């Protein structure tokens, strides 16, 4: 765990005290994730014959909507905590939030943007989604550095032990206890999903195949990883499933429902060789 890259001590400037300034590792990796995802999205757009500038603009709108959605779902999931501790409400601005909340917030904005600019919706999201997977993979490394999204205690040889008291106070991660490296699990999995999506994009038989593949692969992976997540406050549905597992099931059902329509109505005229 390395929550902060460095801290600039307080200093005097023009007769006034300035600082100290701290550069958080999470923020740096989140910015890196966005830029890397944006580059991949523009690259995939050009390959698909789409305007990369439109994809770039779409990514910015989706990013804003995703950040808002992630934080809103975090408040919903931990409603009891925030209503009991209203002074902690502003702490959500230091948290990445819940990824599924970001996805739920981003989808209607993406739909609105493609409708407004008369873009081919399924082709557009197919071009954009590999960048999302890459961004997730990098972003989860930021979670590892910050200590959030941590796992349950484990005696497996690859368990990781956090020791930073600042991160423990900030995100509640247990210290001096070996935990499942759930951040690395998801990072490795989403790197793999990213590679798979690039392959699917170059061999797809219908528009929408890439986004549906992403939903199916990520929802399955997230459902399984949730079993070893150990965050202190995690919402549950029916007292059995975590909120993210429940959403994963809904997303899998949605992908299965839309797949026949896409295969029938969105065929690529000439499959890539």
Residue 115 burial (10 A CB sphere; 0-12, 13-18, 19+): exposed
- What does each C-alpha distance from 167 to 13, 85, 130, 148, 162 come to in angstroms? 30, 19, 31, 8, 9
Q: How confident is the model at residue 258 (pLDDT cuts 50, 70, 90)?
A: very high
* DSSP code for 10: P
Q: pLDDT digit string (tens) for 59-104? A: 888 878 877 777 776 666 666 665 666 665 555 555 556 666 777 7
Question: Alpha-carbon distance 160 to 175, whole Å?
Answer: 10
Q: How confident is the model at residue 183 (pLDDT cuts 50, 70, 90)?
A: very high
Q: What is the pLDDT of residues 115-166, one digit of tens each?
A: 888 888 899 989 989 998 999 999 899 888 888 889 999 999 999 998 888 7
Check residue 147 and report its DSSP letter: T
pLDDT at 271 over 80: no
Select the highest-mean-pLDDT range: 4-8, 87-91, 198-202.
Answer: 198-202
| Whole-number percent of the chain with pLDDT over 90 | 36
In which element (H, E) is residue 165 found?
A: helix 165-171
pLDDT(188) > 70: yes
Amino acid 66: pLDDT: 76
Average pLDDT over residues 109-120: 85
- Cα 34 from Cα 29, distance rounded (Å): 9
pLDDT class of 272 with cuts at 50, 70, 90: very low
CB atoms within 10 A of CB 89: 12
Q: Residue 19 — very low, low, confident or very high, per pLDDT cuts 50/70/90?
A: low
3-class DSSP state of 133 = helix
List of E strands, the chain: 4-8, 11-13, 16-18, 21-24, 160-161, 178-179, 236-237, 241-242
- Percent of the chain having pLDDT more than 70? 80
Q: How many DSSP H helices and E strands does the chain contain?
A: 9, 8
Query: Where exactly are the structural domains of the chain?
Result: 4-11+24-258
């Amino acid at each position: 765990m390395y929550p902060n890259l460095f801290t600039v001590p307080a200093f005097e400037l023009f007769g006034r005290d300035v600082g100290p300034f701290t550069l958080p590792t999470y923020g740096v990796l989140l910015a890196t994730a966005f830029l890397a995802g944006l580059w991949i999205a523009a690259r995939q757009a050009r390959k698909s014959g789409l305007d990369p500038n439109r994809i770039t603009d779409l990514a910015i709108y989706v990013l804003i909507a995703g950040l808002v959605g992630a934080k809103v779902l975090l408040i919903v999931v931990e409603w009891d905590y925030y209503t009991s501790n209203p002074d902690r409400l502003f702490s959500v601005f230091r948290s990445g939030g819940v990824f599924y909340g970001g996805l739920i917030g981003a989808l209607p904005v993406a739909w609105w943007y493609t409708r407004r600019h008369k873009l081919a919706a399924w082709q557009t999201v197919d071009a954009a989604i590999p960048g999302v997977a890459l961004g997730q993979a990098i972003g989860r490394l930021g979670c590892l550095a910050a200590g959030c999204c941590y796992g349950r205690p484990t005696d497996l040889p690859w368990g990781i032990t956090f020791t930073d008291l600042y991160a423990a106070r900030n995100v509640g991660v247990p210290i001096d206890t070996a935990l499942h490296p759930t951040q690395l699990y998801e990072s490795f999995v989403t790197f793999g999903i990213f590679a798979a999506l690039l392959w699917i994009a170059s061999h797809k038989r219908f528009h929408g195949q890439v986004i549906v593949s992403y939903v199916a692969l990520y929802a399955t992976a997230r459902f399984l990883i949730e079993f070893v997540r150990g965050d202190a406050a995690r919402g549950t549905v029916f007292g059995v499933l975590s909120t993210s597992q429940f959403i994963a099931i809904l997303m899998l059902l949605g992908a299965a429902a839309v797949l026949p329509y896409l295969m029938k109505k969105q065929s690529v005229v000439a499959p890539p060789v």
